[in-house]
Amino acid sequence: MVYGSASVVCPPERIVKISDAKNHLEGVIVLHSTRLGPAAGGCRLWNYPTEAAMLDDALRLAEGMSYKNALAGLPFGGGKAVLRMPRGEFDRGALFRAFGKVVEELGGEYVTAEDVGTTVPDMVDVAQSTRYVAGLPAVVGRPGGDPSPWTARGVFGAMDVACRQHLSRPMSEVRVGVQGLGSVGMDLCRHLNQAGATLVVADMDQSRVEAAIRSFGAHAVSTEAILSADVDILAPCALGAVIDHRVISRVRARLVCGAANNQLATAADGTRLAERGIIYAPDFLVNAGGIISVAGEYLGWTEPAVRRRVDAIASSTVDLLQRAKSIGAPPERVAESIARSLMANPTPTCELEQVV
């Protein structure tokens, strides 16, 4: 197997190709690591130009999930399913039921949930064929459903402490650029607005930009201008690989902290950010709120147990940024190395203590 991405640091344990023409299902499930438990990570449905691009995305995302789950202290390894958006008309329910059968055949080695391009109703269809799925409609008092509000909560908490500690200012005195006003980006704007931050936003969907202007008094800039906007903090909340060498030379923010997975185009871009004195709060640390909610739903935790863990992302971020500063290394490298050592030396997890 040739791994498509030069940016994948550790090869995955297993790659499962999916091809079911009858149900318009084409994709791949990557089980990056099962050292800490079943490989958990969402299912993405996207318009990939080529099979190689799809595999590349799946590999990077699955590896990121391994690190994310390890750092969040979850009893899960990392995995990801990536499906190619069919051309023309297709039966969405049939596609996700067929995908569920593939997940079921893996016998619990992989646990799925929603991701970009998939929804709670899609996971309801998946659940018709497998029990290894979360992100299903919430039961009152229990986590479940769309994990995005938890992701936004975790990102906001991390940004808030990083802003106070490293920019020495409260959120009410900073300008934050939010790229992408989807489920997470819009909810992050709500938190930021409540905290008194000035918002600068961009989205390809003009109706979302208008909603942010109406609801939060946000200032709109073009999708080309957002990454170099005159802001103190940049929050990438659209797709990955947006921070590359060209962008880095134009970034004016002093802190990058957002929800998008794999924000750095290459590992060298983390070093470039650090060299410019821009603090990067690693995506796989700060955006773990969603997978914590998914894990809590799957393992039967209560909502307060999920909230406690999501709110702990803020203190983990402070610790990490402090450690990175003291040893003079880019934060994402330090975070990856902590995650890899957790994966190499699994300790008994605390999931039982959280079950109520």
Instruction: Kindly list the residues in this chain that would bind ligand NAI in the complex (CB under 6 A).
Output: 115-116, 147-148, 151, 179-185, 202-205, 208, 223, 237-240, 259-261, 287, 290
Residue nearest to ligand NAI as judged by C-beta position:
182
DSSP lists the bridge partners of residue 18 as 27
Report which residue type is found at 81: A
- 25: its two tokens: 């299902």
Nearest approach, Cβ of 291 to ligand NAI (angstroms)? 7
Residues near 34 by Cβ (< 8 Å), separated by ≥ 6?
Answer: 13, 77, 109
Nearest approach, Cβ of 113 to ligand NAI (angstroms)? 9
Note whether 267 and 241 are within 8 A (CB): no
Q: Nearer Cβ to ligand NAI, position 132 or 284?
A: 284
Q: What is the CA radius of gyration of the chain?
A: 19
> Residue 72 to residues 6, 276, 310, 312, 317: CA-CA distances in angstroms?
26, 28, 9, 9, 11
> Residue 268 to residues 4, 60, 341: CA-CA distances in angstroms?
18, 15, 22
Q: Nearer Cβ to ligand NAI, position 189 or 237?
A: 237
Nearest approach, Cβ of 283 to ligand NAI (angstroms)? 7
Q: Nearer Cβ to ligand NAI, position 23 or 113?
A: 113
Catalytic pick among 22, 68, 80, 325: 80
Known catalytic membership, residue 80:
yes
Residue 164 to residue 150: CA distance in whole angstroms: 21
Nearest approach, Cβ of 260 to ligand NAI (angstroms)? 4
Residue 239 to residue 329: CA distance in whole angstroms: 25
Residue with token string 């992100």: 135
- 34: its two tokens: 């099962």
Nearest approach, Cβ of 179 to ligand NAI (angstroms)? 5
Q: Nearer Cβ to ligand NAI, position 38 or 180?
A: 180
Residues identified as active-site: 80
